């Protein structure tokens, strides 16, 4: 009886269902409730990136580096106009680097770097005989953009500190150093390429002169030095300021000497260009040392305006020497390097023979066993002379019958182990 009621209860549970009215009510309530879309996060992210390009570039850089972009960046950094990766260097890598600069000082420094890069690229092409009119004009325009950007941003750098003055000094020092590098290249290239180099050099100088606020002038230097001294309440403050700046110049001079000594051991006798770069850097750094000594002498005499003028000129010469040795050694003759690689590729692998050294026969030597066989025979002559056991005895004397019999007896004694 109980079992029948239990089974009936189960059947009643199975027949429980919502009415059509109840189902419609639930359906309306569900549709009226807002459900967050899984794509809303992407929409918000897109809006943020769209209004902030720095985030886009930063994320692109992270993804790029994580996918092995280091090798790509390294190759692009070494590229010059005409190379496959040069467009990436100008349009991708440098803009990404530019996003990392926030302060006016950092932005001004980055414009100096870009302007210097354009000079190095032009010099590399000129040394290889590849600086044509189109490339020259393109590099001139890019240099002008950087120099004008520097002239604009330098006005934002506070003139109450040494930052403004130091940035101008560095910019002009780099220009002066590269003008001398171009003079060296011009003297070592065929006459057909000299016009392009000279035109490029004159255009760069003209672009710099068109921005008076970035051109150093002795008058402004003297005025600045006088203001520094007049603002000092005592010679002690002037001495402290002088020593601080002089220490920085000494560090530059020391670094240049170290770079010169290190570079001398890596040059070949035929590398006339880089040898000329080293000579130029050596001459310039000596001028920096002389000016530094003069500045110190003026300071000892209490002539602080002249001391600071010589100190600043010493700083400028030091920066020039540093630029000359660092940027000059980066410049390679790509044409010569291509020819060297081509010659290396045409030689037989593992069998490159230096024409200045005799050829070496690497064929394994075979030994003639009959030639190297040593016959050890110990014999005695009539005069009891011992014959060298390592060399076979050769007797050219005609043998008689008695001699033959004596030899037989000696052989028999050796074999039997008997002694006379």
| DSSP secondary structure letters along 289-314 | HHHHHHHHHHHHTT-HHHHHHHHHHH
Q: For 294, what's the count of Cα atoms within 13 Å in the CB-facing half-sphere?
A: 16
Measure the CA–CA gap between 176 and 323, rounded to whole angstroms: 9
Lowest mean pLDDT among 27-31, 104-108, 179-183, 256-260: 27-31
* Cβ atoms of 215 and 172 closer than 8 Å: yes
Highest-scoring range by mean pLDDT, 47-51, 63-67, 75-79, 249-253: 249-253
* Cβ atoms of 339 and 279 closer than 8 Å: no
Q: How far apart are the first and last CA of the chain?
A: 138
Measure the CA–CA gap between 55 and 48, rounded to whole angstroms: 8
Residue 397 has pLDDT above 60, yes or no: no
Q: pLDDT at position 373, please?
A: 42
Q: Kind and range of the H or E element at 178?
A: helix 162-188
Average pLDDT, the chain: 74
Measure the CA–CA gap between 92 and 61, rounded to whole angstroms: 9
Q: pLDDT at position 54, please?
A: 57
Residue 174 has pLDDT above 90, yes or no: yes
Q: pLDDT at position 271, please?
A: 83
Which residues, at least 6 apart from 393, have a Cβ–Cβ distance to it below 8 Å? Answer: 377, 379, 387
Measure the CA–CA gap between 158 and 416, rounded to whole angstroms: 114
Note the pLDDT tens digit of each residue in 37-59. 554 554 555 555 555 655 555 66
Lowest mean pLDDT among 123-132, 312-321, 372-381: 372-381
Highest-scoring range by mean pLDDT, 47-51, 387-391, 416-420: 47-51
Q: pLDDT at position 349, please?
A: 39
Phi and psi angles of residue 386, each rounded to the nearest 5 degrees, phi first: -85, 130
pLDDT band at 277 (very low <50, low <70, confident <90, very high): very high
Q: In 102-161, which residue ranges form alpha helices assigned H by DSSP?
A: 104-127, 133-153
The mean pLDDT value for 79-84 works out to 90
DSSP bridge partners of 380 = 386
Note the pLDDT tens digit of each residue in 118-139. 999 999 999 988 999 999 999 9
Residue 71 has pLDDT above 90, yes or no: no
As given in the structure block, the two tokens for residue 11 are 């059947």
Phi and psi angles of residue 388, each rounded to the nearest 5 degrees, phi first: -55, 115
As given in the structure block, the two tokens for residue 231 are 């603002």
Rg of the chain taking only CA atoms, in angstroms: 44
Note the pLDDT tens digit of each residue in 355-366. 344 444 444 444
Measure the CA–CA gap between 329 and 277, rounded to whole angstroms: 7
* Cβ atoms of 295 and 307 closer than 8 Å: yes
Q: Which of 270, 129, 124 is nearest to 189 (CA)?
A: 129
Residue 85 CB neighbour total at 10 angstroms: 18
Q: pLDDT at position 219, please?
A: 41
């Amino acid at each position: 009886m109980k079992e029948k009621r239990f089974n009936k209860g189960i059947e009643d549970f199975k027949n429980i269902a919502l009415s059509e009215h109840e189902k419609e009510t639930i359906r309306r309530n569900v549709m009226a409730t807002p459900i967050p879309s899984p794509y809303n996060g992407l929409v918000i992210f897109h809006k943020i990136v769209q209004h902030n390009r720095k985030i886009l570039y930063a994320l692109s850089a992270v993804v790029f580096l994580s996918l092995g972009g280091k090798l790509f960046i390294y190759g692009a950094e070494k590229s010059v106009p005409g190379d496959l990766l040069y467009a990436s260097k100008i349009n991708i890598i440098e803009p990404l680097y530019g996003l990392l600069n926030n302060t006016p000082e950092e932005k001004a420094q980055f414009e100096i770097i870009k302007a210097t890069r354009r000079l190095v690229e032009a010099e590399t092409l000129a040394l290889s005989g590849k600086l044509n009119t189109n490339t020259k004009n393109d590099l001139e325009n890019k240099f002008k953009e950087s120099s004008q950007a520097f002239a604009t941003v330098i006005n934002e750098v506070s003139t109450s500190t040494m930052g403004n003055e130091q940035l101008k000094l560095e910019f002009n020092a780099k220009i002066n150093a590269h003008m001398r590098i171009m003079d060296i290249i011009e003297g070592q290239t065929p006459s057909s390429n000299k016009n392009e180099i000279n035109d490029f050099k004159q255009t760069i100088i003209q672009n710099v002169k068109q921005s008076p606020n970035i051109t150093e002038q002795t008058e402004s230097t003297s005025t600045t030095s006088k203001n520094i001294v007049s603002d000092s309440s005592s010679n002690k403050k002037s001495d402290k300021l002088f020593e601080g700046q002089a220490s920085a110049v000494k560090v530059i001079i020391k670094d240049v000497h170290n770079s010169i000594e290190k570079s001398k051991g890596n040059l070949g006798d035929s590398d006339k260009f880089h040898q000329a770069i080293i000579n130029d850097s050596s001459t310039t750094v000596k001028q920096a040392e002389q000016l530094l000594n003069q500045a110190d002498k003026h300071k000892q005499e209490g002539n602080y305006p002249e001391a600071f003028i010589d100190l600043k000129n010493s700083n400028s010469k030091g920066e020039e020497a540093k630029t000359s040795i660092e940027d000059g050694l980066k410049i390679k003759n790509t044409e010569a390097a291509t020819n060297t690689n081509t010659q290396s590729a045409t030689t037989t692998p593992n069998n490159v023979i230096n024409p200045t050294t005799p050829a070496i026969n690497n064929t394994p030597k075979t030994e003639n066993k009959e030639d190297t066989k040593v016959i050890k025979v110990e014999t005695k002559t009539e005069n009891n002379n011992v014959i060298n056991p390592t060399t076979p005895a050769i007797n050219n004397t005609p043998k008689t019958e008695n001699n033959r019999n004596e030899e037989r007896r000696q052989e028999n004694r050796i074999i039997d182990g008997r002694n006379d």
